[in-house]
Amino acid sequence: MSEVSKEVTPCSHLVQLGMELDVRGEGRMRLSAWKRQRYAERAVLVRGMSVCPGEEFEALLHRLLFAACAMPVGRQHLNPLFRVAKAKFRLTGGRVAVTCLLYTSPSPRDRG
């Protein structure tokens, strides 16, 4: 038997781990407003660095990976960042150089 304080009554709008699931309204899944704000602040912080510690960059990538769950085909946009991070970790001793290319790379449609 589960603990009564952990039970959730049936509902059409659920927020769990910062992810909203709206079953009846718009029928979509998205990050909650507070989580979107926190993730955006972290991304802006990393973008402002010239060199980012590997742990900080990896933490941001994993947050973006969680956020990509709510976006159709969102994860594919993170693959180049994971490849860059992997190569940079090998080459620069656990640090990632943050350049314009990391956050302004064109989408595959724009490449031609």
pLDDT in tens, 22-43: 877 777 888 888 998 999 999 8
> Which DSSP letter does residue 63 get?
H
| Residue 41, pLDDT score | 92
What single letter denotes the amino acid at residue 17?
L
Residue spans of the domains in the chain: they are 4-104
Query: Whole-angstrom distance between the N-terminal and C-terminal Cα of the chain?
Result: 57
Tens digit of pLDDT for each residue in 44-91? 988 888 888 878 888 888 898 888 888 777 788 888 888 877 776 666
- Integer CA distances (angstroms), 51 to 18, 45, 46, 87, 97, in order: 29, 11, 9, 14, 4
Is the Cβ–Cβ distance between 22 and 13 less than 8 Å? yes
pTM above 0.75, yes or no: no
